[in-house]
Amino acid sequence: MGRRVNLIIYKQGFNKLRSNFNNSSMKHNQSKLIRTRVPQTPQHEHASPLFLTSSFTFDNAEDMRAAFADENDANIYSRFSNPSVQEFVDRLCVLENAEDGFATASGMSAVFGSFMALLKKGDHILSCNSIFGSTHTVISKYLPKYGIDFSYVGASANAAEWEAAITPQTKMIYLETPTNPGLDVVDISMVSAIAKKHNIILNVDNCFATPIGQTPIDLGADLVVHSATKWIDGQGRVLGGAVVGRKDLIHDIYLFCRSTGPSLSPFNAWVLSKSLETLEVRMDRHCSNALYIADKLQGHAKINFVKYPFLTTHPHYAIAQKQMKNGGGIVCFELKGGVESGRTFLNSLKMLSMTANLGDTRSIASHPASTTHAKLSEAERQAVSITPGLIRISVGLEHKDDILADILQALALS
């Protein structure tokens, strides 16, 4: 029985550890995060072990029956649960002040799982119009195939405009803030008040800000989704995603994902769990570098505007100051020469990378109008703040002056 007892202790250990935080000497989430871990094995390892296994064994048929009947918390199969994955989830819940969570194979599987587990035929989802391209595809192309209707509200919409877009069938409000790639900032508290008034689930993509920059649950969100592939991993190594939030909603998401299979691999979870330990110190550097770059680029002769949430020139600066602890690691600016200048700028970079990612230690540049959002019409791009010459910089951990120098020399050739 000892092996089975130990596995149950692992599962119970998370809940016990988390429930004792309020009574412990640890007052800061960073400390709680680092000390949240799978209980030690008899080997007394200091770092958390990697549970690289597809399944778990049972001592007898009754234990196995009880596990499948959900009469205990024993691990069965890594598509359902795994100690390495659970550690990552629990650590993210600490940072987001969430009751529970579920980890997935990618950010998009977290987004899709949060939709499909909680929406049904005849329901309506109301979304901010400025969202990640793949999320837009899921909402506008795939959800209607299941009889789920949708509509969009502008990222700058006021409370009356948000409320006017609600229908009797609206069951979820979805938003990104800051938005990708236009860096619009949506007032989470304002939208939350409207959602609560109408008994609607508020689902917030917190990928750009990270829980170091803002905690949407504290502002009234019911669910928070993440592409852990980005800042949480922070080094461009693995894919991963997560949904955290209200326990009752997470239970439904867990049941859907357990059956449909978008599970996070134990190895990726182990990597991401370790990455969370350094997220705060990394984001401090990312954000300070980003603010420095944004400030230095203001007024440049080749640039129409610079957009960064913590610049006073940002149209939603007041909202960003209210709900964000920092401005994030993304800087956007509009080149005067439009699409062709954008391509020339990318081709002139010497240090910054061109890649389909962000949130890396290495700075990354992209031109959305000719790449990620090229299939949208000009009107559609303008509606979500993607202008022809918009450049998105994911500011890395290189020295800020080296990042700036590469951008400036590319601008000179654009």
Position 9 confidence tier, pLDDT thresholds 50, 70, 90: very low
Interval 2-27 mean pLDDT: 48
Domain assignments of the chain as residue spans, ordered by start: 2-277, 279-413
Give φ, ψ of 104 to 5 degrees.
Answer: -130, 175
Tokens representing 32 are 């709680």
* pTM listed for this prediction: 0.92
Q: Residue 317: which H helix or E strand, with range?
A: helix 317-323
Q: What is the rounded average pLDDT for all residues in the chain? A: 92
Q: Treating both helix axes as pointing N-terminal to C-terminal, what angle do 266-277 and 279-297 enclose, rounded to 10 degrees?
A: 70
- The pLDDT of residue 3 is 35
Cα separation, 108 vs 240, whole angstroms: 9
Cα separation, 134 vs 252, whole angstroms: 23
* 52, pLDDT greater than 50: yes
Residues 314, 182: contact at Cβ < 8 Å?
no
- The pLDDT of residue 6 is 41
- The pLDDT of residue 24 is 65
Q: How many residues in total does the chain contain?
A: 414
- The pLDDT of residue 214 is 98
- pLDDT (tens digit, 9 = 90+) per residue, 68-84? 998 988 999 999 999 99
CATH superfamily of 279-413: Aspartate Aminotransferase, domain 1 (3.90.1150.10)
- The pLDDT of residue 73 is 87
Q: Percent of the chain at pLDDT above 70?
A: 94
- The pLDDT of residue 22 is 52
Give the residue carrying structure tokens 């502002």.
219
Residues 340, 369: contact at Cβ < 8 Å?
no
Residues 240, 259: contact at Cβ < 8 Å?
no
Which residues are 101's β-sheet partners? 244
Q: Write the CATH number of the domain with boundaries 2-277.
A: 3.40.640.10
Higher pLDDT, 27 or 191: 191
